[in-house]
């Protein structure tokens, strides 16, 4: 039987603390540490036993021995608490790791997404026009007959409406609400919203009851342009289109304006560029003509100014509307436009 100097009988406190140091360091889990703790510090533990044996000592010895036991208890408590903090941290880290939800889908680099070619084309077209001093505006895809047709100088039963035969919605009176057939109604909305001068482009999605073919899809995109100011001439229109064409397609692509008819412009023109797929030789995409129509243009008709309450004697302007999908098709030499709707990843990956 050994005893420390002051002597709690039957217990070597220094050895006990040393044992506690190595045993707690060896405890691998919070649970095994708890067991060790009750062995050392519990009511049936060695320290408690030493405490109880104090009664056998003489009063003056008892005090010194009691202090020693208390000191040993504090030392053991500190060892256990330190080890518990380390173990608890480690166990929490393991639990957090196992419960972590990984919501990301890791794909190989070539299949990671990118902006769709039509959206990218729209962004690039906006950039070109913003660089030329135009603002960008938008309007709704669901339009009333008035904005889509009437304010654009196409009264009910006007034969030109046949060019834009379309999808009507069952909303309000029959045939009064349509999926817009072009972005031209945004011209009207813009002129109602702000006084001239106006220099704006208006991109967006349009709908037509077209049978899909190499150059047509029933859901497509246009970018409208509108300039309203004093003293605007057809030369301003032609110059703007020329500047746009070389800025977007490069110096090798030629543009031409040919006489055309639109109810909301007078005079009107069709805007065509060299077919980029056959370089003008004629192919299936351009119906063997060597040219592809990108859109329409013309000087704002006085009737349109009248519809929005602008004086046609004071204000002049031009407008144009280009197909964004057509621009993408020509710039990226896509023979058949229908691929833009199919979302085949083998195609999307290349564009």
Q: Which residues bind ligand PHE (CB under 6 A)?
A: 182, 184, 262, 265, 268, 295-298, 319-321
Q: Is the CB of residue 307 less than 8 Å from the CB of residue 345?
A: no
Q: How many helices (H) and strands (E) does the chain have?
A: 12, 9
Nearest distance, CB of residue 332 and ligand PHE, angstroms: 22
Q: Please state the φ and ψ torsions of residue 298, each to the nearest 5 degrees.
A: 165, 180
Nearer to ligand PHE, 83 or 326 (CB): 326
CA distances from 216 to 285, 320, 322, 328 (A): 10, 19, 13, 13
Chain centre distance of CA 184: 27
Nearest distance, CB of residue 190 and ligand PHE, angstroms: 13
Nearer to ligand PHE, 268 or 276 (CB): 268
Residue 140's contacts (CB-CB under 8 Å, 6 or more residues apart) are 180
Nearest distance, CB of residue 322 and ligand PHE, angstroms: 8
Nearer to ligand PHE, 13 or 257 (CB): 257
Nearest distance, CB of residue 195 and ligand PHE, angstroms: 21
Q: 3-class DSSP state for residue 305?
A: helix
Nearest distance, CB of residue 162 and ligand PHE, angstroms: 12
Nearest distance, CB of residue 143 and ligand PHE, angstroms: 12
Scanning the structure block, which residue is given the tokens 């036991």? 69
Two structure tokens written together for 273: 């560029």
Two structure tokens written together for 25: 């360091």
Cα–Cα distance measured from residue 170 to residue 308, given in angstroms and rounded to the nearest whole number: 27
Nearer to ligand PHE, 77 or 229 (CB): 229
Nearer to ligand PHE, 122 or 182 (CB): 182
Angle between helices 59-99 and 13-26 (to 10 degrees): 0
Nearest distance, CB of residue 144 and ligand PHE, angstroms: 16
Nearer to ligand PHE, 182 or 215 (CB): 182
Nearer to ligand PHE, 45 or 164 (CB): 164
Task: Please tell me the chain's helix, strand, coil percentages from 3-state DSSP, rounded to the nearest 5.
Answer: 45, 20, 35
């Amino acid at each position: 039987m050994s005893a420390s100097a002051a002597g709690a009988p039957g217990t070597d406190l220094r050895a006990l603390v040393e044992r506690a140091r190595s045993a707690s360091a060896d405890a691998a889990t919070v649970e095994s540490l708890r067991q060790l703790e009750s062995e050392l510090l519990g009511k049936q533990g060695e320290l408690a036993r030493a405490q109880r044996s104090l009664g056998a000592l003489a009063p003056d010895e008892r005090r010194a021995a009691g202090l020693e036991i208390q000191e040993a208890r504090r030392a053991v408590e500190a060892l256990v608490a330190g080890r518990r903090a380390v173990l608890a941290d480690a166990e929490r880290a393991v639990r957090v790791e196992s419960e972590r939800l990984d919501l990301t889908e890791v794909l190989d680099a070539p299949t990671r997404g990118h902006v769709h070619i039509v959206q990218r084309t729209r962004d690039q077209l906006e950039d070109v026009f913003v660089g030329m001093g135009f603002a960008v505006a938008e309007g709704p895809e669901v339009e009333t007959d008035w904005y889509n047709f009437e304010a654009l100088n196409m009264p009910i039963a006007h034969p030109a409406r046949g060019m834009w035969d379309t999808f009507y919605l069952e909303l309000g009176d029959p045939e009064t609400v349509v999926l817009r057939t072009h972005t031209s109604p945004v011209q009207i909305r813009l002129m109602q919203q702000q006084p001239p001068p106006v220099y704006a482009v208006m991109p967006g999605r349009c709908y037509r009851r077209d049978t899909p073919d190499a150059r047509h899809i029933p859901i497509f995109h246009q970018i409208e342009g509108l300039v309203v100011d004093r003293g605007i001439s057809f030369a301003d229109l032609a110059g703007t289109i020329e500047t746009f064409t070389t800025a977007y397609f490069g110096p090798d692509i030629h543009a031409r304006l040919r006489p055309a008819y639109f109810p909301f412009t007078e005079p009107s023109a069709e805007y065509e560029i060299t077919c980029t797929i056959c370089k003008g030789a004629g192919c299936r995409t351009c119906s063997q003509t060597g040219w592809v129509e990108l859109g329409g243009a013309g000087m704002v008709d006085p009737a349109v100014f009248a519809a929005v309450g602008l004086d046609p004697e004071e204000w002049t302007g031009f407008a144009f509307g280009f197909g964004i999908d057509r621009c993408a098709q020509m710039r990226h030499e896509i023979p058949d436009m229908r691929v833009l709707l199919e979302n085949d990843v083998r195609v999307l990956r290349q564009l």
